[in-house]
Amino acid sequence: MTFEPKIVGILCNWCSYTGADLAGTARIKYAPNVRMMRVMCSGRVDPTFVMKAFAEGADGVLVAGCHPGDCHYIDGNYKTMRRMALLKKMLAEYGIEPGRFRLEWVSASEGDRWAKVVNQITEDVRKLGPAKFETKKSKRRIPVPAA
Amino acid sequence: MKRISIDPITRLEGHGKIEIFLADDGGVENCYFQVPELRGFEKFVEGMPVEEVPRVVSRICGV
Amino acid sequence: MAKINLASYWAAACGGCDVAILDIHEKILDLAAAANIVFWPIAVDFKYEDVEAMVDGHIDVTLFHGAVRNSENEHLAKLLRRKSKVLVAFGSCAHMGGIPGLANLFNRRQIFQRVYHSSPSTANPEGIEPQTRTAVPEGELTIPEFYDTVRPLDDLVEVDYYVPGCPPTPNQIWNVVQAIVSGQLPPKGSVVGASDKTQCDECHLKKNEKKITGFKRIATAQPEQETCYLEQGFLCLGPVTRGGCDTRCQLSGVACRGCYGPPPGVVDQGAKAISAIASVIEAKDEAEIERIIAQIPDPLRSFNRFGIPGSLLVRKIL
């Protein structure tokens, strides 16, 4: 049985999620391995989300936003660029292969491109195999503030 | 042979244990001192910027 | 009021937390008046067998410092959990792994190779390594098993309170002791002995607008002492670190390295540090971004100096 990667996708509402929607309405066939989450802007993507996805069992993570210069909120995706660049360095230091994490720009009209991006990351992660992470034996507890 | 374990040794910095083996006449046959701790500073500072190392290795001993 | 039974134990620790407790100076007399010390290796002669012999719950409060590095640390974590009504993860190591947690970028094999064989000052021609069991003419000697991965205390047992800091400051320790003795503690699982705000809230340096165009190192540049270090391009974890330590480092002319752990609501201090610091880098194209971030040597150990074992990813995959 071939390994089916579990990939978490975090897509910005205005461009990439709409682009993914277009791939759907255009009936483009592509790999089903990316579980998609919608955020309003890729600038919302806290590196914590990516790490948490890996910690909870994702084999790969894909963050997608508007092309630089086209961000619905003007400069949100520049923050994304900077955060993800630093995150990539840190993930490498944790021993995570570069192919497991991608940042891609997909516009609302790029249904084709979305399919290609998903197929590409799926194949890259399939070749790398399941991710092997040490898990915390107990879930980190965030205390509930007193009422 | 009687065996006395002193575990842990106390009132100093660090972990240690002492095993004393007594012969039948009560004299010390042999005595072993063991250090049951290792953290590996020698390894994990490799690759750190030199100016950061003092801030890390000061935690070898807080005393 | 009856004295409480107090214990303090060091796992993979350095003794700094013990010294910090002693640094409450003459208040140690008040502590001695309020508490029976029933186990404290640095200061009194109780043995592990004395703890094993205690009735469960005999200890009112245990301050557990040091990270869990080996099987003895694990055994004591579980033993002290059983014997204590309240177990406090005291100091960065117990809270989130601490400095010994940096070993999570390596494994046992690599560490042993360096320590016992390849380090320049080691003479070990027979290639001897410590074994968990060693046969000697008189019997067998044992030492703990050294694990591949360092863990914070709450990975092993349920922790009641966390006191952050490397080490916690004596002022905060005294606050915590008073809270314990008076029974006025917040809900279980809380961080105590620290502020709920970040370092920046307490820091005396002048803050303007942050637009970082490059990173500097104190090895090659001198920070100006009146202005925010981060603004000047010197990496500072103040924005993602809990306050409460009186900003000792910043007052001494160096940037914060995050020992008081993440602020409330932040799960991974390193991830949040990336987020915060990347937000204030002034660059809009990939090449410029790469140029700037290349000036941060050693990102993981810079953004998460004290909390790798407590981070979401725990350790480097090897």
- Give the pLDDT mean for A7-23: 97
The verdict on C54 and C187 lying in the same domain is: yes
Does residue C24 fall inside a structural domain?
yes
Whether A99 and chain C come into contact, CB under 8 Å, resolves to: no
Report CA torsion sign: C130, C134, C138, C144. Answer: positive
> What range defines the domain where residue C170 resides?
4-100+149-191
The verdict on C120 and C44 lying in the same domain is: no
The verdict on C79 and C226 lying in the same domain is: no
Does residue C313 fall inside a structural domain?
no
- Could you say which DSSP state residue C23 is in? T
Does residue C74 fall inside a structural domain?
yes
Does residue A119 fall inside a structural domain?
yes
Backbone angles phi, psi at C35, to 5 degrees: -140, 145
Q: Residue A94 and residue C300: Cβ atoms within 8 Å? A: yes
The verdict on C51 and C179 lying in the same domain is: yes
The verdict on C52 and C116 lying in the same domain is: no
What CA–CA distances, in Å, run from A116 to A25, A42, C55?
16, 20, 64
- pTM of the full structure: 0.93
The verdict on C186 and C137 lying in the same domain is: no
Whether C47 and chain B come into contact, CB under 8 Å, resolves to: yes
Q: For chain B, which chains pass the contact test of at least 3 CB pairs under 8 Å?
A: C
The verdict on C218 and C280 lying in the same domain is: yes
Is the pLDDT reported for residue C52 higher than 60? yes
Task: Find chain B residues with C-beta within 8 A of C146's C-beta.
Answer: 38
Domain CATH number, residue A79: 3.40.50
Is the pLDDT reported for residue C216 higher than 50? yes
- Give the pLDDT mean for A39-59: 95
Q: What is the three-class DSSP state of C59?
A: strand
pLDDT bracket for residue A135 (50, 70, 90): low
Does residue C311 fall inside a structural domain?
no
The verdict on C30 and C121 lying in the same domain is: no
Q: Give the pLDDT of residue C181.
A: 86
Domain CATH number, residue C90: 3.40.50.700
Does residue C77 fall inside a structural domain?
yes
Whether A79 and chain C come into contact, CB under 8 Å, resolves to: yes
Q: Residue C271 and residue A46: Cβ atoms within 8 Å? A: yes
Whether A134 and chain C come into contact, CB under 8 Å, resolves to: yes
Residue of B nearest to C217 (CA): B51
Torsion, Cα of C70, C74, C77, C83 (10° steps): -130
The Cα C148–Cα C161 span in angstroms is 26
Does residue C312 fall inside a structural domain?
no
The verdict on C81 and C170 lying in the same domain is: yes
The Cα C161–Cα C261 span in angstroms is 14
The verdict on C40 and C157 lying in the same domain is: yes
Task: Find chain A residues with C-beta within 8 A of C155's C-beta.
Answer: 136-138
Does residue A74 fall inside a structural domain?
yes
pLDDT bracket for residue A136 (50, 70, 90): low
Nearest-Cα distance to chain C for A44, in Å, is 10
- What stretch of H or E contains A130? none
Residue A142 C-alpha from the chain's centroid = 25
The Cα C174–Cα C303 span in angstroms is 29
Nearest-Cα distance to chain C for B37, in Å, is 7
Nearest-Cα distance to chain C for B57, in Å, is 9
Count up the domains in chain C and report the number. 3
Nearest-Cα distance to chain A for C32, in Å, is 31
Q: Where do the H-state alpha helices sit in chain C?
A: 16-22, 27-34, 48-53, 71-83, 91-96, 108-113, 170-182, 199-202, 248-251, 269-279, 286-293, 299-303
> What range defines the domain where residue A80 resides?
7-128
Q: Residue B36 and residue C41: Cβ atoms within 8 Å? A: no
With b meaning 16 or more CB within 10 Å and e meaning fewer, what string describes C11-23? Answer: bbbbbbbbbbbbb
| Phi and psi based region of residue B11 (left: phi greater than 0; alpha: psi -120 to 50; beta: remaining) | left
Q: pLDDT above 90 covers what percent of chain B? A: 92
- Could you say which DSSP state residue C158 is in? -
The Cα B26–Cα A80 span in angstroms is 74
- The per-residue pLDDT for range C266-318, each reduced to its tens digit, is 999 999 999 999 999 999 999 999 999 999 999 999 999 999 999 999 999 98
Query: What are the sequence ranges of the domains in chain B?
Result: 2-57
Q: Among candidates A110, A125, A129, A109, which has minimal Cα distance to A34?
A: A125
For A80, the token pair is 């994304």
Does residue C20 fall inside a structural domain?
yes
Count up the domains in chain A and report the number. 1
The verdict on C141 and C161 lying in the same domain is: no
- Give the pLDDT mean for A94-108: 97
Q: Is the peptide bond before B8 cis (omega within 30 degrees of 0)?
A: yes
Does residue A30 fall inside a structural domain?
yes
Burial level of A97, CB count in 10 A (0-12/13-18/19+)? middle
Beta-carbon contacts of residue A73 (< 8 Å; ≥ 6 apart): A40, A41, A43
Q: Among candidates C57, C59, C39, C37, which has minimal Cα distance to C48?
A: C39
Do residues C93 and C167 touch, judged by C-beta distance below 8 A? no
Residue C107 half-sphere exposure, CB side, CA atoms within 13 Å? 8
Q: Residue C111 and residue B43: Cβ atoms within 8 Å? A: yes
